[in-house]
Amino acid sequence: MRNARCLLWIAPVILIALIPACALAAPDLSACPYKIVWESFRDGNGELYCANADGSNAVNLTNTPDANELYPHVSPDGTKVCFVIDQGEGDQKTRSVWYMNLNGSGRTKVADNGREPCWGPDSNTIAYLGSEFPQFTVTDYATKGLFFYDLTTQTHRQHPNQNLYHLYNICWGPDGKWFVTTVHAGMGYDHAILAFEADGQGVYNLGIPGCRPDLGPDGRKIAWGASDWVLQVADIDFTGPQPKVSNRRDVVTSKEPMKIYHIDWSPDGRWVTFARGPEGPKMSPAVEMIGINAQGWNICVADATKTNDWEAITSDGASNKEPDWAPLLRVGAP
């Protein structure tokens, strides 16, 4: 019966992937000078791609048929990208943290059994989550501990708060003082979006629903998925006794079965990119999670100053997820 259910699901996904994306308006992406890096699953393999903000001039950065590169994050200086690699099958499957130059050269392993890396503002430090279990799992919140890797010294150190666990989608703020993240069934929380000190013990519930937050380039804006169908942006203030979020509003909404996830701010704070696609089969891992093949999903770009002013920049539905902006200007940009 499971195979029958899967077949019933595949057909609608194919049809949905062929339906043109519809937004209330289409932004003029010629005004956006930056590039976007994302993960895609093509020819039976996960790869990282880079393209202009309108989807043109897409380039495969990895070209590795024996490894699945996922979850790219570009360094603030635009020279490097960190990511994870899923490799092997069954009980032998592993996930590890890597980085490389943005042109695909200089691949370097950071940590075995690591998860969801991101860059510090110095573009020389990678923060990553440890795995809760020695065995591989796709569960996004199966994490324990936060660690820092220095590219120059090639050394690792643990965050001073050693009670960080069940976090996912960490984002390091541009001033280097704060992280925002999601926690699930850990640290005394059921499910919450948190801010915590990068070099201290302070942990604060931001009091907003959903998951996968991202801080804007000046550290005064936050974007996140308020639900499977709503992406929101808001102001965030770190200057008071504890971080505070205000002026929430919808930036993109979607109707079932098309989920919207993985929102990320552009380097100038004018745009956001995100992934959009259909729900997966029932009783299976959520397709928005890392390492889950999400057929029918595409990368989109929206004007962050408006609501539902967006455009899909990929159209093949090849599990295009986890977009991240590259500060690198496209050729010919001002």
Report the pLDDT value the prediction gives residue 56, as an integer from 0 to 100. 94
Buried-exposed string 278-301: b where 16+ CB fall within 10 A, e elsewhere: bbbeeeeeebbbbbbebbbbbbbb
CA atoms within 13 A on the CB side of 165: 11
Q: How many Å apart are CA 237 and CA 95, to the nearest integer?
A: 35
pLDDT digits (tens, 9 = 90+) for 264-307: 999 999 999 999 999 999 889 999 999 999 999 999 999 999 99
Pairing of strands 45-52, 59-60: antiparallel
Q: Are the beta carbons of 73 and 81 closer than 8 angstroms?
A: yes
Residue with tokens 């890096």: 37
Q: Which residue type does 110 have?
A: V
Q: Are the beta carbons of 257 and 277 closer than 8 angstroms?
A: no
Report the pLDDT value the prediction gives residue 25, as an integer from 0 to 100. 65
Greatest CA span in the chain, whole angstroms?
A: 57
Q: How many Å apart are CA 9 and CA 40, to the nearest integer?
A: 20
Q: How many Å apart are CA 164 and CA 71, to the nearest integer?
A: 21
DSSP code per residue over 183-204: EEEETTEEEEEEEEETTSS-EE
Task: Note the pTM of the prediction, 2 decimals.
Answer: 0.92
Report the pLDDT value the prediction gives residue 23, as an integer from 0 to 100. 55
Going by C-alpha positions, the residue among 210, 244, 243, 224 that lies closest to residue 304 is 224
3-state secondary structure of 31: helix
**Domain extent for 171:** 2-329
Going by C-alpha positions, the residue among 49, 129, 122 that lies closest to residue 97 is 129
Q: Is 81 left (phi over 0), alpha (psi -120 to 50) or beta?
A: beta
Q: What's the structural domain count of the chain?
A: 1
Q: How many Å apart are CA 332 and CA 173, to the nearest integer?
A: 30
Report the pLDDT value the prediction gives residue 26, as an integer from 0 to 100. 80
Per-10-residue mean pLDDT, the chain, length 334 = 36 40 70 94 94 95 95 97 96 96 96 98 98 96 98 98 98 98 98 98 98 98 98 98 98 97 97 97 94 97 97 98 87 50
Report the pLDDT value the prediction gives residue 68, as an integer from 0 to 100. 97
Q: Which residue type does 126 have?
A: I
In a domain, 334, yes or no: no
3-state helix, strand, coil in the chain (%, to 5): 5, 50, 45
Q: How many Å apart are CA 229 and CA 28, to the nearest integer?
A: 24
Tell me phi and psi for residue 90, to 5 degrees: 55, -135
Report the pLDDT value the prediction gives residue 24, as an integer from 0 to 100. 56
CATH code for the domain of 275: 2.120.10.30
Q: How many Å apart are CA 36 and CA 54, to the nearest integer?
A: 9
Q: How many Å apart are CA 238 and CA 247, to the nearest integer?
A: 15
pLDDT digits (tens, 9 = 90+) for 192-202: 999 999 999 99
